[in-house]
Amino acid sequence: MSKETAVYTHGHHESVLRSHRWRTAANSAGYLLGELRPGMTALDVGCGPGTITADIAALVAPGQVTAVDTTREILDQAAEVAAERGLQNLEFTTADVHALDFPDDTFDVVHAHQVLQHVGDPVQALREMRRVCRPGGVVAARDSDYAAMTWFPEVPAMGAWQDLYRRVARANGGEPDAGRRLLSWARRAGFTDIIPTAAAWCFGTPESRDWWSGLWADRTVGSVYAKLAVEGGHATPEQLTAIAEAWRTWGAQDDGWFMVPHGEVLCRA
Ligand SMILES: C[S@@+](CC[C@H](N)C(=O)[O-])C[C@H]1O[C@@H](n2cnc3c(N)ncnc32)[C@H](O)[C@@H]1O
């Protein structure tokens, strides 16, 4: 595997998109909102199904937003989200963050949510994001940190889930504990003006617990991640079934609580 080549661990299975489509600029990009102004241009890297992208587009309109991802299929879904919301200031194109096909100094804002943890060379990715951002513009990145995720009550195989996910993600060339590394990566990419922050998602209501546990249970047995886990020799199908069952057991607890912490960096280009 070349340094920049990583396999996107989750893939775009329905159980994965169930999580991505829930995302909004408010619940996933709060640290960036104070920077956005009507008329700005923005690039959203690794936009996935594009719900955060659409929120950003609404906030910067009439400024133009460009959304990129490596796969055409997910860009088509993101374009549908934009069309459903009546947004006309968005365009979608395939691109790899390691080598963006845009001139230097193109965008006012360059954003990546939950992307750098999946790429082979996050420092090169940030260098590219910096290159295409105009001087004085802002590069914003946010990633979760799997080792720091925590939950209650203890369900034995949930620990096996955390351990397995991190092993599979690393074997695919990614860094599952990316949140804590963003500041270091941004410094290595050449940024000197960086605001590092952290924020968390919390799933502790009956509805959010049911949703979060259900999507992880389904993802554990039905997504690209499940296939990669078995093919890579990281787990047997029986072990994946046991982990999915653990997610459902945790999700059925009336006092079940789960926290997903994220590192964030707001970097002045
Ligand atoms: C976890 S999803 C996040 C999607 C979206 N930003 C969100 O938060 O809802 C990561 C996305 O990054 C994309 N991706 C992975 N590697 C990439 C690369 N090298 N360049 C651009 N996008 C990439 C994947 O295809 C996937 O859609």
Q: Using one digit for the tens of pLDDT, what is the confidence trace for 164-204?
A: 999 999 999 999 999 999 999 999 999 999 999 999 999 99
| Two structure tokens written together for 142 | 């946010």
| pLDDT value, residue 3 | 44
Strand partners, 93: 68
Q: Is 245 exposed, middle or buried (0-12, 13-18, 19+ CB in 10 A)?
A: middle
In ligand 1, the atom with minimum distance to the C-alpha of 120 is 19
> How would you classify the pairing of strands 42-45 and 107-113?
parallel
| pLDDT value, residue 20 | 85
Query: How many Å is the maximal CA-CA distance in the chain?
Result: 53
Residue 96 Cβ inside 6 Å of ligand 1? The answer reads: yes
Alpha helices in the chain (DSSP H): 14-20, 25-28, 30-33, 51-60, 72-84, 122-131, 156-171, 182-188, 206-222, 224-231, 237-251
- 3 state DSSP class of 228: helix
In ligand 1, the atom with minimum distance to the C-alpha of 97 is 20
- Provide the CA 2 distance to its chain's centre, in angstroms: 22
Distance from the CA of 153 to the center of ligand 1, in angstroms? 31
- Provide the CA 253 distance to its chain's centre, in angstroms: 27
Distance from the CA of 49 to the center of ligand 1, in angstroms? 9
Atom 4 (ligand 1) nearest CA: 48
Neighbours of 192 (CB within 10 A): 8
Alpha helices in 172-205 (DSSP H): 182-188
Residue 11 Cβ inside 6 Å of ligand 1? The answer reads: no
In ligand 1, the atom with minimum distance to the C-alpha of 49 is 9
For residues 61 and 10, what is the distance between their CA atoms, to the nearest angstrom? 31
| pLDDT value, residue 1 | 35
Distance from the CA of 156 to the center of ligand 1, in angstroms? 31
Neighbours of 70 (CB within 10 A): 15
Distance from the CA of 255 to the center of ligand 1, in angstroms? 33
Distance from the CA of 48 to the center of ligand 1, in angstroms? 5
Atom 1 (ligand 1) nearest CA: 114
Mutate to test the pocket of ligand 1, among 69, 75, 111, 119 (most ligand atoms within 8 A of CB): 69
Residue 94 Cβ inside 6 Å of ligand 1? The answer reads: no
Q: Is 109 exposed, middle or buried (0-12, 13-18, 19+ CB in 10 A)?
A: buried
Mutate to test the pocket of ligand 1, among 115, 124, 262 (most ligand atoms within 8 A of CB): 115
| pLDDT value, residue 5 | 58
DSSP secondary structure, 60-77, as one string = HTTS-EEEEES-HHHHHH
Residue 142 Cβ inside 6 Å of ligand 1? The answer reads: no
Taking 50 as the pLDDT cut, the residues of the chain under it are 1-3
Residue 264 Cβ inside 6 Å of ligand 1? The answer reads: no
